[in-house]
Structure 1
Amino acid sequence: MSSTSSSRPRTRNTWQKQAIDEILDGSADFQSAQQVHQSVADTGRSVSLATVYRVLQSQVEDGVVDILALDDGQTLFRKCAATGHHHHLVCRNCRATQEIEAPKIEQWADNVATDFGYIDVNHTMEVYGLCPQCAQNAS
């Protein structure tokens, strides 16, 4: 998740946004834009995939939706459970996700930026592993 967010929402309150919000509010799991698109379609409403992407990206920029970039290039979205900047611990197998704070990473990123003269810096960090259940099943 990016550490930059605006205090003023960029996403207009359209029926498409409301439909996408309903889908995201109904799931604790990260979902792809395609899954959100299909879930909206399953409710009998028609929205373009491009609109789903635009709404999700605006909500990421507004800080109300988390974005998770997987190693395979897939991008997933979920309503933020935590307020403020945070990171994720993600199971490589089942995609179970824990929101984590990493203050030492924040300090390191700020120090690196300062050392090289960068300003207005943001970053993302995800930590991948096997959750306890998947680790037990792998044994």
Structure 2
Amino acid sequence: MTMPRTPQRIALAQALEQTPQFRSAQQLHAHLLQEGHEVSLATVYRHLNALAEAGALETRNLSGGETRYRQCRSSGTHHHLVCRDCGETTDVADTSVEQWVQRVGDRHHFTDIRYALELSGLCAGCQHAPTG
């Protein structure tokens, strides 16, 4: 299904291009409203889900059930290192994980193995941020 290029969809695509961080539908909706775009939260969800299903967006599912979205900044296989405090996300390309997955699959006679790997920690800014 091809979705029309409406002003709302164009504005959402621009908002996604402007941030390297994963953002929730609510955050993106608030940003669009602040920028003067008339768009409903339901429209934002619908477009985000369509873009994610088409492979145009990466998604993260947080422990509370919220999904966050962003455009991928790297091509090819990569993983994410995510700050637990601020959400800063760094793409990490390392073939050793893929090699290990392939060896495990071969050893157990599996093919077409899919997996998700996300590392979390504290970014340099949050390590030095005052607590309070």
Give the TM-score normalised by the residue count of structure 2: 0.77
- For residue 100 of structure 1, what is the aligned residue in structure 2? 92
Who is 1:73 aligned against? 65
Structure 1: unaligned runs, 5 residues or longer: 1-9
Q: 1:121 to 1:60 in 2, by over 3 A?
A: farther
Structure of higher CA gyration radius: 2
Q: CA deviation at 1:109?
A: 2.4
- Alignment length (residue pairs): 129
- Normalised to the residue count of structure 1, the TM-score between the two structures is 0.74
- Kept after mapping to 1: 8 A contact 2:17/2:71: yes
Q: Does 2:5 match 1:14?
A: yes
Distance in 1 separating the partners of 2:53 and 2:101:
20
Alignment match of 2:83 (pick from 91, 95, 99)? 91
Query: Alpha-carbon deviations, 1:90-128, whole Å to 9, x = none?
Result: 111111111101312112223333444443332221100
1:137 match: secondary structure: coil
Residue 47 (structure 1) aligned to one of 40, 43, 48: 40
- Show the counterpart of 1:24: 16
- Aligned-CA RMSD value: 2.5
Q: Give 3-state SS (helix, strand or coil) of 2:74's partner.
A: coil
- Percent identity between matched residues is 33
Higher relative contact order (CA 8 A, sep 6+): 1
- Which residue of structure 2 lines up, in the alignment, with residue 5 of structure 1? none
Is the Cα–Cα contact under 8 Å of residues 26 and 41 in structure 2 kept in the other structure?
no
- 1:48 Cα deviation from its structure 2 partner: 4.3
What CA distance in whole angstroms lies between the structure 2 residues aligned with 1:138 and 1:71?
25
